[in-house]
Structure 1
Amino acid sequence: MAKVEMKTKHKTEVEDSSSLKGTLVSVFFVGIFIIVTWVGVYYLYNNRF
């Protein structure tokens, strides 16, 4: 079978990196929530014994 090559011109747009600041803050909040939850469970476990 013959190979068909499609030549299309794609313009790649550079997105503004400032839109990632909200994502970074959200990830930090989720990470802090997970850490606080783990520490709370750890202390609950240690206080039972």
Structure 2
Amino acid sequence: MAELMPAKGKQKPEARVKEGETGKEPELKGAFASVMIVGFFILITWFGVFALFLARN
């Protein structure tokens, strides 16, 4: 009887795909732009504080 039962943890290939899912990746252009803006802000702030540190010494 054990031969007829599938192994635990293994799924059928069709079970891996959720219903309504087309397999297309979502567009992440907005997320990338937001991360870049925050990164540039952190970079500019860091250099500003570093310049202030150098100016006071």
How does the TM-score come out when normalised to structure 1? 0.67
**2:24 is matched by which residue type in structure 1?**
E
The 4+ residue runs of structure 1 with deviation greater than 3 A are 4-8
Residue of structure 2 equivalent to 1:42: 50
Q: Report the aligned-residue RMSD.
A: 2.4
Number of residue equivalences: 46
- Structure 2, unmatched stretches of 5+, are 1-6
Larger Rg: 2
How does the TM-score come out when normalised to structure 2? 0.60
More helix by share: 1
Q: Pick from 35, 38, 54: which aligns with 1:30?
A: 38
Q: Distance in 2 between matches of 1:43 and 1:33?
A: 15
Alignment of 1:2-41 (within 5 A): 5=8, 9-12=15-18, 13=21, 14-18=23-27, 20-41=28-49
